[in-house]
Amino acid sequence: MSQLQVGDSAPQFQSVAVGGPYGDGTLVRLADFAGQNVVLYFYPKDDTPGCTTQACGLRDSWSRLEGKAVVFGVSIDPPASHQKFIQKYTLPFRLLADENHSLVEAFQVWVEKSMYGKTYMGTERSTFVIGGDGTLKAIFRKVKPAEHLDLLLNALQ
C-alpha cells in the first residue's frame, strides 16, 4: 500500500473518544465532522515526556486552535489511561483510544522503531489535517513535539 498523500481521501474511522464536551466513551466517526477541519495527531504513549510536551503545547495555545478544527489526540492507550492524562494536564481536546490499532494502521503510522539497538513496533508521531470535504490537507510525519503547534497553526490558516 502506498503512503497516504495530501489530496487523498482520509481513511474513514470510528473510535471511542475520551474527554471534551461530549463526555467519555462517545463513539465518534470521521463522517460526524463533515464540513469541518479535523486534526488527528498520533502520539506514542500517554504521560511520557514528548507526548506531554506535545499535548500541553496544544493546550497552552488552545485559543489559537479552537474553532479552526476539531482536534483529536490518538494513541493505542486504553480509555482509562487517556482519562488520567486529560485530568492531569487539563487537556481541552478529546483523545481517541485506538486499542485495536485500526487508526494507526489505517493512517500508516504503526511502524518499526528502534531504541538502544532493539527494534519494535510503535506509533510514529504524526499529524493529519483533514479538510471538511474528507481529503487530507496536510500531513506531518515524525513530528518533533516542540514544533508541532507551529506546523499545525500554519496548516490551519
Q: For residue 131, what pLDDT band results from cuts at 50, 70 and 90?
A: very high
Residue 114 has pLDDT above 90, yes or no: no
Mean pLDDT confidence for 123-129:
96
- Residue 117: pLDDT over 80: yes
Ramachandran angles phi, psi of 51, nearest 5° = -70, -35
pTM assigned to the model: 0.93
**∠ Cα 115 95 15 (to 5°):** 100
In this predicted structure, the answer to whether residue 125 has a pLDDT above a threshold of 60 is: yes
Longest Cα separation, the chain = 45
Placement of cell 531504541 in the chain:
115
pLDDT of residue 48: 93
Query: What is the set of active-site residues?
Result: 51
What the chain holds in terms of domains, given with CATH numbers, is: 14-155 (3.40.30.10)
Distances from the Cα of 69 to the Cα of 63, 99, 105, 113, 123, angstroms: 12, 24, 23, 30, 23
Average pLDDT of span 109-132: 92
Q: Decide if pLDDT at 25 tops 80.
A: no
Q: By percentage, how much of the chain surpasses pLDDT 70? A: 96
The reported pLDDT for the residue numbered 70 is 94
pLDDT at 2: 78
Q: Are 38 and 72 contacting, i.e. CB atoms less than 8 angstroms apart?
A: yes
What's the pLDDT tens digit per position in 35-78? 999 999 999 999 999 999 999 999 999 999 989 999 999 999 99
Residue 21: what pLDDT? 60
CA–CA distance, 137 with 116 (Å, rounded to integer)? 35
146 CB neighbour count, 10 Å cutoff: 11
Average model confidence (pLDDT) across the chain: 92
